[in-house]
């Protein structure tokens, strides 16, 4: 369960990181736009200044030079204007992406919270069940012969937590291989613990179960 929570959290964090990068990119676009707007204003200022100087010029040559200068400012201005328009478009697109991601993240967060609380309550349920079973196991273990219990636990640890298996339709339900009749007869005698010759688990018959 903690692993599943981690999975949800990882997916959630990835979405968060995506939104962050979109927003950072948008911030950069805005700064660039601001910078270009400053440049544009300075070109406009240059045009105004040059135009106001036109009247004071004495020669035709000076006039031509000033006009060329003004044309240059105007050309720069139009480049900045174009760039600003593009930046505005990019910024708009980034804003749309950010809004979509924000919405995704909100719904992800909601579903994450729901899953988290569902898992937490399931975990609590399982922990309760486990502690009941542990109590019950302890009570039962106390009443089992110490040597038999030791043997049982030894098999339990060596066999993936399955130490006792039923013999059904003449086969061991641990390894699913055939149990000889002679072995089944030995189980029926209830004289000692009988283990599977193949998987070494303790064998019992269905009729041995007490409710």
- Write out the two tokens for 37: 């707007």
With CB under 5 A as the contact rule, which of the stretches 34-42, 86-94, 134-142, 175-183 interacts with Zn ion? Answer: 175-183
What's the closest the beta carbon of residue 154 comes to Zn ion, in angstroms?
16
What's the closest the beta carbon of residue 1 comes to Zn ion, in angstroms?
32
What's the closest the beta carbon of residue 204 comes to Zn ion, in angstroms?
12
Please tell me whether residue 47 binds Zn ion under the rule CB under 5 A.
no
Choice from 57, 175, 184, 193 touching Zn ion (CB under 5 A): 175
Q: How far apart are the first and last CA of the chain?
A: 33
Distances (CA, A) of 180 to 17, 155, 175: 63, 21, 14
Question: Do 36 and 80 touch, CB atoms closer than 8 A?
Answer: yes
What's the closest the beta carbon of residue 163 comes to Zn ion, in angstroms?
11
What's the closest the beta carbon of residue 184 comes to Zn ion, in angstroms?
13
Tell me the number of residues near Zn ion by CB under 5 A. 6
**Nearest by Cα to 91 from 31, 41, 37:** 31
Q: What is the CA radius of gyration of the chain?
A: 41
Please tell me whether residue 202 binds Zn ion under the rule CB under 5 A.
no
Instruction: Fill in the DSSP letter of residue 167.
Output: E
Question: Do 1 and 122 touch, CB atoms closer than 8 A?
Answer: yes
Choice from 84, 174, 183, 194 touching Zn ion (CB under 5 A): 174
Please tell me whether residue 70 binds Zn ion under the rule CB under 5 A.
no
Choice from 94, 172, 183, 194 touching Zn ion (CB under 5 A): 172
Inter-axis angle of helices 60-142 and 2-53, nearest 10: 170
Q: Footprint of Zn ion on this chain (CB under 5 A)?
A: 172, 174-175, 196, 198-199
């Amino acid at each position: 369960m903690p692993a599943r929570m981690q999975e949800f959290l990882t997916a959630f964090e990835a979405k968060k990181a995506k939104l962050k990068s979109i927003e950072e990119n948008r911030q950069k676009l805005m700064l660039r736009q601001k910078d270009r707007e400053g440049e544009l204003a300075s070109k406009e200022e240059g045009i105004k200044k040059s135009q106001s100087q036109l009247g004071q010029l004495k020669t035709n040559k000076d006039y031509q030079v000033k006009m060329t200068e003004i044309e240059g400012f105007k050309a720069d201005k139009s480049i900045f204007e174009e760039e600003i328009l593009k930046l505005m478009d990019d910024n708009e697109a980034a804003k749309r992406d950010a809004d979509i991601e924000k919405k995704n993240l909100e719904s992800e967060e909601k579903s994450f919270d729901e899953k988290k609380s569902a898992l937490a309550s399931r975990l609590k349920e399982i922990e309760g069940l486990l502690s009941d079973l542990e109590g019950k196991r302890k009570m039962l273990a106390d009443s089992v012969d110490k040597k038999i219990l030791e043997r049982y636990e030894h098999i339990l640890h060596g066999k993936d937590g399955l130490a006792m298996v039923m013999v059904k339709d003449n086969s061991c339900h641990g390894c699913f291989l055939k149990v000889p009749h002679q072995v089944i007869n030995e189980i029926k005698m209830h004289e000692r613990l009988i283990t599977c010759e193949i998987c070494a688990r303790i064998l019992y018959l269905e009729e041995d179960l007490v409710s």
